[in-house]
């Protein structure tokens, strides 16, 4: 499911931060997660990925035996350049880094 499209890394990272904040209260075990439970650690790592044409995918075990995932998918994917973007974006509209 595509929830949102964005044109900048900052917008994508802000969206990731909002999703992290929604999931964090339900983390099953912050202690077992180590630095992966730290918002700033994950956001710093995510900031470096989109300019390199990489996607970012996070997954967290939550309370009540649930698992939450969040992803930002770079489109078009440079690893599969012939695969069309699901949101209908064209090559010239891909994520820009200002």
Q: Indicate the domain borders of the chain.
A: 9-93
Rounded to the nearest 5 degrees, what angle is found at the Cα of 50, between the Cα atoms of 46 and 55? Answer: 75
Q: What is the pTM of this model?
A: 0.73
Per-residue pLDDT band for 98 (boundaries 50, 70, 90) equals very low
Q: So what's the pLDDT on residue 47?
A: 84
């Amino acid at each position: 499911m595509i929830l949102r499209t964005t044109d900048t890394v900052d917008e994508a990272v802000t969206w990731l931060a909002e999703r992290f904040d929604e999931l964090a209260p339900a983390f099953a075990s912050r202690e077992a997660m180590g630095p992966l439970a730290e918002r700033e650690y994950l956001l710093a790592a995510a900031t470096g990925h989109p300019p390199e044409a990489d996607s970012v995918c996070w997954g967290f075990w939550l309370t009540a035996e649930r698992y939450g995932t969040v992803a930002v998918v770079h489109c078009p994917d440079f690893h599969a350049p012939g695969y069309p973007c699901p949101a209908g974006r064209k090559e010239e509209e891909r994520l820009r880094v200002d």
